[in-house]
Amino acid sequence: MIDSLNGEVIAIGLDHAVIECAGVGYRFMATPPTLGRLTRGENARVLTAMVVKEDSMTLYGFTDDDGRSMFHRLTTVSGLGPKLAMASLSVFEPAELAGHITAGDSKAIQAIPGVGKKMADRLILELKDKLKGVYAAPAAEGDASGAATAATASASFATEQVVEALVGLGFPEKSARTAVGAVVEEDPEVDSSALLRAALNRLGKK
């Protein structure tokens, strides 16, 4: 099993990066926040998790053990695969997600692209007890405005993630924020993956 990679970053894509270790380039899937912390040509260390299927072996990269451990926990949920686990970590930090799950906040969890009410309820049912005390949960909201506040915070966090990813790809922060802001203005409910693609498209036209 490959537990971590430490070497030069030789490529960064929309959802992956490649780190060269001892002459071998290892491609791994990662979230925008993780990709945003990488820079081509510089050395970096990422923790990894390998998912083996009948027809593939895929590496997933994380900046810290909290992200990796949450990834492993999420993939134990019935019907929730690695792709959806990564989408979850693209929207929420591990502690934030754990807080929503232990609080039973199904509506906040549905901010994750591809997660509907049924999957959100399943996450709560299967992980609520397992996550208690593992992460520091965010403060609970006591009224109906809590859900709206959580949704706004999630959207803002996703925007910052995409800006980080674009800066990591070599774009100036000012240009990245302008492009991301324009996309969000056109579609306030755009998910982080679509936001990253649309912002890259705008920056590529300049």
pLDDT tens profile 141-174: 444 444 444 444 445 556 777 887 777 777 888 8
Percent share of the chain, pLDDT over 70: 85
Residue where the block lists tokens 């992980």: 127
pLDDT of residue 194: 78
How far apart (Å, rounded) are the C-alpha atoms in residues 42 and 19?
A: 10
Q: What angle do CA 44, 45, 46 make, to 5 degrees?
A: 120
Task: Tell me if 138 is assigned to some domain.
Answer: no
Give CB contacts under 8 A, 24+ apart, made by 10-15. Answer: 10/40, 10/41, 11/40, 12/38, 12/40, 12/168, 12/169, 14/193, 14/196, 14/197, 14/200, 15/86, 15/193
| pLDDT tens digit sequence for 32-46 | 888 888 989 999 999
CATH code of the domain containing 189? 1.10.8.10
How far apart (Å, rounded) are the C-alpha atoms in residues 12 and 110?
A: 29
Percent share of the chain, pLDDT over 90: 45
Q: Cβ-count burial of 143 within 10 angstroms (0-12 exposed, 13-18 middle, 19+ buried)?
A: exposed
- 8 Å CB contact between 26 and 5: yes
Which is more confidently placed, 180 or 158? 180
pLDDT of residue 149: 43
Which sign does the torsion angle of CA 27, 33, 38, 43 carry? negative
Task: Tell me if 36 is assigned to some domain.
Answer: yes
pLDDT of residue 50: 94
| pLDDT tens digit sequence for 46-84 | 999 999 988 889 999 999 999 999 999 999 999 999 999
Task: Tell me if 73 is assigned to some domain.
Answer: yes
Task: Tell me if 137 is assigned to some domain.
Answer: no
Does the structure show a pLDDT above 70 at 137?
no
Asked if residue 167 and residue 152 are part of one domain, the reply reads yes
Asked if residue 84 and residue 46 are part of one domain, the reply reads no
Task: Tell me if 18 is assigned to some domain.
Answer: yes
pLDDT of residue 157: 57
Task: Tell me if 58 is assigned to some domain.
Answer: yes
Q: Which domain holds residue 33?
A: 4-62
Mean pLDDT in residue range 81-91: 90
Mean pLDDT in residue range 116-138: 84
pLDDT of residue 143: 46
Which of the listed residues 47, 62, 77 is the one where a domain comes to its end? 62
pLDDT of residue 27: 97
Task: Tell me if 141 is assigned to some domain.
Answer: no
**Cβ count within 10 A of residue 114:** 13
pLDDT of residue 46: 97
Mean pLDDT in residue range 115-125: 94
